[in-house]
Amino acid sequence: MTENNRKFYLENGYVILKSALSETEIKTIHSDIHTIIKQQLQTLGLKVESETNASTIFSDMRKLHSADLNKYLASLKLCAKTISIFQGLMNPNVLNFTKSLGITLPVFQTQPVFHVMAEKLRIQDGYFGVGAHQDWPALQSGLDTVTTWVPLVPVKANSYTLEIIPKSHLLGFCESNETQNIHEIPAEVYKHLDFIKIQMDPGDVLVFSVFLIHKSETPSNSDAFRMAYSMRYENASDLTFISRNYPFSQKRVVDRALAAEDIPKIKDVQKRFQ
């Protein structure tokens, strides 16, 4: 199957690795995400769902979104940093497949991206899907870099599916217009090509080239809910990456101002070591 998937990927610019992650791995990620959300709800004295599944996570996200938007946004940022998601990135099925594509020295220059989309979780003036684009401009690393996209809930038609143009990776780096979040590709570049909707189940892993043109579906279903994470596997041994001195287009900034003046207190620190 690895060889068949490899050939399909090279030809089409993407492939779906079915059930690459186990049900246990997905449940662990669900548990960590739900715990982060519930902890903030409990600080507000709000009731939380006792069971953990896609439906109860969505329910508690909606409660937190309505009660305190800052706490909600902070929680989503933290969800991307859970060890369970990083362990999913190190899944042997995924790593072995990227190795079959020639990514002999994989590196992660950024952290995973946690994607949550639902009409009932919309943020005013916030990210809510983007137009047609390629991932390479956000990285500018090896030409064989791949993106992995992992749904944590079923993603079917009319539920914020990813829409892709098969074989569009062979167009190379496309003409685009720089916007706040992406280099958006004008419709005239791909008007002769057709998008297809990628439908997946939790545990499936979509692997696609950073040159593949893709976008998010805008569903008519107001109850649709999508939760997923993505990551880029960059090849430190790609010759173009080496020749350009390993460029890194994203910047990291440390805010050295204390987030709260009364923390840490001496007694609280000492208590951790008793």
pLDDT for 182 equals 76
pTM of the model: 0.91
Residue 251 confidence (pLDDT): 82
Say what the pLDDT of residue 69 is: 96
Give the Cβ contact number of residue 92 at 10 Å. 8
pLDDT, averaged per 10 consecutive residues of the chain (274 residues), comes to: 92 97 98 98 97 97 97 97 96 95 93 93 73 90 95 92 95 84 86 93 97 89 91 95 92 84 86 90
pLDDT, one tens digit per residue, over 137-169 is 888 899 999 999 999 999 998 888 999 999 999
Q: Which helix (H) or strand (E) holds 83?
A: helix 83-89
pLDDT of 7 reads: 97
pLDDT for the residue 97:
96
Average pLDDT, the chain: 92
In angstroms, rounded to a whole number, what is the distance separating the alpha carbons of residues 153 and 134? 24
Cβ neighbour number for residue 252 with a 10 Å cutoff: 6
Cα(202)–Cα(200) distance, rounded to whole angstroms? Answer: 7
Q: Position 44: which residue type?
A: L
Whether residue 264 is preceded by a cis peptide bond, meaning omega within 30 degrees of 0, is yes
